[in-house]
Amino acid sequence: MIKLQMAKWLSSAIFEMKNPRLFGKMISVTKVELSSDKRYANVYISVLGSDEKKSGVFETLEHAAGSLGLKFRKNLRLRSAPVIRLKEDKGIESSSRRHKILEGIHERHPSDR
């Protein structure tokens, strides 16, 4: 339950951040894993775009991770703030890449449908 709340809250908090490096970027919190003692949160983020854009987004979010954890603690009235560790989730990007490859194959071989 807390993982789902954390994912929703972080998604909203990232969307509301007023940092120009985040404007117009497709950023999704795809999964949150909490350690058994709830001291650490692995937060999986998907960012669509070039490697340069992804790098800028992750740098910005890494810089804000501490304050996001504190705000999250206050918002959900937790005893302590989990340490947020950001991880790149490449699942959406890899699905998109596979879809484009399959579309290309179908365009070259339309009779195989």
- Other Cβ atoms less than 10 A from the Cβ of 107: the count is 8
C-alpha span between 80 and 12 (Å, rounded) = 21
**What pLDDT score does 23 carry?**
87
**What pLDDT score does 28 carry?**
92
pLDDT tens track for 17-72? 989 889 888 899 999 999 998 889 999 999 988 888 889 999 999 999 988 888 87
CATH fold of 2-112 reads: GMP Synthetase; Chain A, domain 3 (3.30.300)
Q: Please, what's the b/e burial string for 44-71 (b: 16 or more CB within 10 A of its CB; e: otherwise)?
A: bbbbeeeeeebebbbebbeebbeebbee
Would you say the C-alpha torsion 90, 96, 97, 98 has a positive or negative sign?
Answer: positive
- Average per-residue pLDDT for the chain: 84
Average pLDDT estimate for 69-89: 83
**What pLDDT score does 58 carry?**
94
Model confidence at 111, pLDDT cuts 50, 70, 90, reads low
Q: Which residue has the higher pLDDT, 105 or 83?
A: 83
